[in-house]
Amino acid sequence: MSPKKTIHLIAAARPNFMKIAPLYHALSREPWANPVIVHTGQHYDTNMSDAFFRDLLLPVPHYHLGIGSGTHAEQTGKVMIAYERLLNETRPDLVVVVGDVNSTLACTLATVKIRYADRPSGGGRRFPLPGNVNRAIRPLVAHLEAGLRSFDRSMPEEINRIATDTLADILWTPSADGNENLLWEGVSREKIERVGNIMIDSLEMMRPKIEKIRMAKQYGLEQGTYGLVTLHRPANVDEPAQLRAICTALEKITQTFPLVFPVHPRTRKQLEQNGYWQVLAQIPNLFLSEPLPYLQFMSLVFDSRLVITDSGGVQEETTYLGIPCLTLRENTERPITVSEGTNRLCTVETLLQHIAKATASKERRSRKPLLWDGHTADRVVASIQQVLLDAKEVMLD
């Protein structure tokens, strides 16, 4: 029997863990696959990382690169250096990167460069048609959650998305707009496969546990009577004027509607530096907390009346669950959550109006996007199997 195929799953930051978990579990069931978790350490606090591994039943990462915080160049550079070292020690058959964080791009760059390092000349000839997947090349890179675009290059994540999709060999998209964006950018159709939304796999995998927790009760709140807030994007929290306006809006909202706000470390730092933390902590109907583990957080989402967020993943989870979502951003790389789901883009000035509208309507309007069905990991495994095992390898030189 041929040796198992080694597949690196790159996990870096909080939103990555629920994307690799279903894939890790699905690959672990395959006799031909050896899934290996590589944690870059971009998020390192217990409640931003370890708690997610525990909740999602993941093992301790096989490799931990321990990168931590830094400027964008520092973080991206440190991950590249550390991951290149690991690739020199162990060559996987496939590297799977997810989402749009700095580590997604850094590991993609390290991988696509190292595969030519031991054959310095003529490497480019290995791709006879632009964009074709040359299955003989190792390691291949696959991007899970490919093709999403906010068309806003002031977002670091947009740069990471564009650069990763340009370099990756296999592009798994969550929705039709992902395919359209990639085709419009000139990517070969052969590289793209719509597989659905892997976050929904995690949600469905953990649903029985999520439904048992009833986290809202810990705040003395009943199901459907409160809002949940998550904010961490630089455009919202790193700008003092915007942060101040958001704090004022939250205070106004809590006069009639309780809010639970698990605070991201970036946001907490900014709130403390600007002197708003103490003010918020004293507002009676505003329940501040540390960032929460997956099950507890999702329990609060499940039971909320609405969600206020600037996160990407939360826009998708609320659409799937049919919970109104107010996204404090000018744009979204996930337009399907607006066109088919419950998501509304809003500004801090229009937030109160949107809340009044969302809480007035009894009906939970939502259409679950196609292939957001809890079986994305199975489709990804089938795709990997086809690329690594079934297809006849083409040696081009």
Catalytic site positions: 232
Q: Pick between residue 288 and residue 370 the one whose CB is nearest to ligand UD1.
A: 288
Stretch that binds ligand UD1, among 29-37, 95-103, 198-206, 378-386 (CB under 6 A): 95-103
Under rule CB under 6 A, residue 161 binds ligand UD1: no
Angle 279-260-225 (CA atoms, 0-180°, nearest 5)? 125
Stretch that binds ligand UD1, among 32-40, 133-141, 262-270, 319-327 (CB under 6 A): 262-270
Size of the site for ligand UD1 (CB under 6 A): 19
Q: Strand 306-309: give its sheet, edge to edge.
A: 286-289, 259-262, 227-230, 306-309, 325-327, 343-345
Q: Pick between residue 238 and residue 373 the one whose CB is nearest to ligand UD1.
A: 238
Sites for ligand UD1 among residues 27-56 (CB under 6 A): 42-45, 48
Closest CA to 45 of 78, 20, 68: 68
> In the numeric block, which tokens belong to residue 132?
């074709």
- Each residue 203-232 as x (binds ligand UD1 by CB under 6 A) or -, in order, gives -----------------------------x
Closest CA to 357 of 366, 344, 368, 347: 344
Stretch that binds ligand UD1, among 86-94, 96-104, 217-225, 386-394 (CB under 6 A): 96-104
What is the smallest separation between the CB atom of 100 and ligand UD1, expressed in angstroms? 6
Phi (first) and psi of residue 67, to 5 degrees = -75, -45
**Selected binder of ligand UD1 within 69, 223, 273, 339 (CB under 6 A):** 69
What is the smallest separation between the CB atom of 11 and ligand UD1, expressed in angstroms? 12
DSSP reduced 3-state for 121: coil
- Cα-only R_g, the chain: 21
Q: What is the largest CA-CA distance in the chain?
A: 70
Would you call 121 exposed, middle or buried from its count of C-beta atoms within 10 A (0-12, 13-18, 19+)? exposed
> In the numeric block, which tokens belong to residue 2?
């041929």
**Selected binder of ligand UD1 within 5, 6, 10, 15 (CB under 6 A):** 15
DSSP reduced 3-state for 309: strand
Under rule CB under 6 A, residue 157 binds ligand UD1: yes
What is the smallest separation between the CB atom of 16 and ligand UD1, expressed in angstroms? 9
Read off the amino acid at residue 107: C
Under rule CB under 6 A, residue 293 binds ligand UD1: no
> In the numeric block, which tokens belong to residue 356?
């009044």
Give contact residues for ligand UD1 (rule: CB under 6 A). 13-15, 42-45, 48, 69, 100-102, 156-157, 232, 264-266, 269
